[in-house]
Amino acid sequence: MDHVSTRGPSSSPANPVKVRSVPLAPPITIKFLGPLRGLLTHWQRGHSVPCDGAGNCPTTLHRSGTLFKAYAAVEEWISHLARWRPCVLEATANLEEYLRGRVLRGEVWLLSREDGVKLTRPVVAAYLETIPEAKVSPAFDILPIVQRLFNRLDLLLDVPNPTPRHVVLGDVAAPPPTVPADLLPPPPPAEDPVERQKLRAAIEASKRQFGRPRATDSASAGNGRAASPAPPSGDGSAGNGNF
């Protein structure tokens, strides 16, 4: 199969463009070439399948809930090759919400997973810089790449994110509120160091007086009878058990 490139001359061979999700580690650096485009999916038999919309999806599948994803044409920085590689970014609903309202094209972001433990952990995004338009590669069409990902031609792209938005507000600096004295809890009683020393001495004296029972006493208490004294040496009773 011929892979046609519309990105102009390049010093590296052309390769099929792949879909790139944010890995556990290490972080990835990406440069946006185009906007994020939303898609609703369902989880079926261990993998994601596109949602065909209410009335078109099988009822049982549609009632199982949807998962929002977003896709964008980007370039990923490959450090060991010192070059940008085109790919399609698969973004989570939270990442799409965080980036919503931005132009994105030409912006460079560092993406990673929170804690780096599971792929279900939220994506952490850090803005790095914006590349001038003259130095940004042309955007490419992501539709055939996403179609190939799901092996479907009839995809409903550009679906809005249905996740309720975060409400982000900052703290407000102010003097402390005034609380009437009669509403304040009473202060704790002051500790008397003399009484505390007396209590500690009484506890130590109790330990010395009673202490722990000896092992023989514990064994006797366990079988409900007093321990029998050992027979005198040399009387012949020790061998036959007659006491």
Per-residue pLDDT of the chain (243 residues; tens, 9 = 90+): 344 444 555 556 788 999 999 988 899 999 999 999 999 988 877 788 888 877 788 777 777 788 899 999 999 999 999 999 999 999 999 899 999 989 999 999 999 988 766 667 788 899 999 999 999 999 999 999 999 999 989 888 999 998 888 787 889 999 989 989 888 888 888 888 888 888 888 888 888 877 655 555 544 444 545 444 444 444 444 444 443
- Give dist(CA 41, CA 49) in Å, integer: 5
| Predicted local distance difference test score (pLDDT) of residue 237 | 41
**Class of 19-150 per CATH?**
mainly beta
Specify whether the CB–CB gap between 31 and 111 falls below 8 A: no
Q: What contacts 198, CB < 8 A, 6 or more positions away? A: none
Query: Coil, strand, or helix at residue 223?
Result: helix
Residue type, 217: D
- Give dist(CA 243, CA 241) in Å, integer: 6
The kind and range of the H/E element at 69 are strand 67-78
Q: Look at the block and give the residue holding tokens 């440069």.
A: 31
Specify whether the CB–CB gap between 150 and 52 falls below 8 A: no
pTM value is 0.65
